[in-house]
Amino acid sequence: MKQKEFDIIKRSSLFRFAEEVEFKDLAPIFPELFDLFMDIADQYPEDSGEEYIEMLIRMNLEDLQQNRKPMGHNREARYRMIFPIDRDRVEFFIYPRIDEEESEIDMITNKISDFLDKNDLEHEILWNEMRFLKEEKD
pLDDT band at 67 (very low <50, low <70, confident <90, very high): very high
Q: Is residue 7 part of a domain?
A: no
Q: Is residue 49 part of a domain?
A: yes
* Cβ neighbours of residue 49 closer than 8 Å, sequence gap 6 or more: none
pLDDT band at 1 (very low <50, low <70, confident <90, very high): very low
Q: Is residue 2 part of a domain?
A: no
Query: Is 56 a residue whose pLDDT tops 80?
Result: yes
Backbone angle region of 16, left / alpha / beta, with phi > 0 → left and psi within -120 to 50 → alpha: beta
92 beta partners: 15
Q: Give the model confidence (pLDDT) of 102-127 as tens digits.
A: 788 999 999 999 999 999 999 999 99
Provide the residue range defining the domain that includes 27.
13-137
Q: Is residue 84 part of a domain?
A: yes
Q: Is residue 113 part of a domain?
A: yes
Query: Is 129 a residue whose pLDDT tops 80?
Result: yes
Query: For a pLDDT cut of 90, what percent of the chain falls above it?
Result: 43
Greatest C-alpha distance within the chain: 59
Q: Is residue 93 part of a domain?
A: yes
**pLDDT at position 75, please?**
61
What is the mean predicted confidence (pLDDT) over 23-39? Answer: 93
Please give the tally of structural domains in the chain.
Answer: 1
Query: Is 5 a residue whose pLDDT tops 80?
Result: no
CA distance 135 to 138: 5
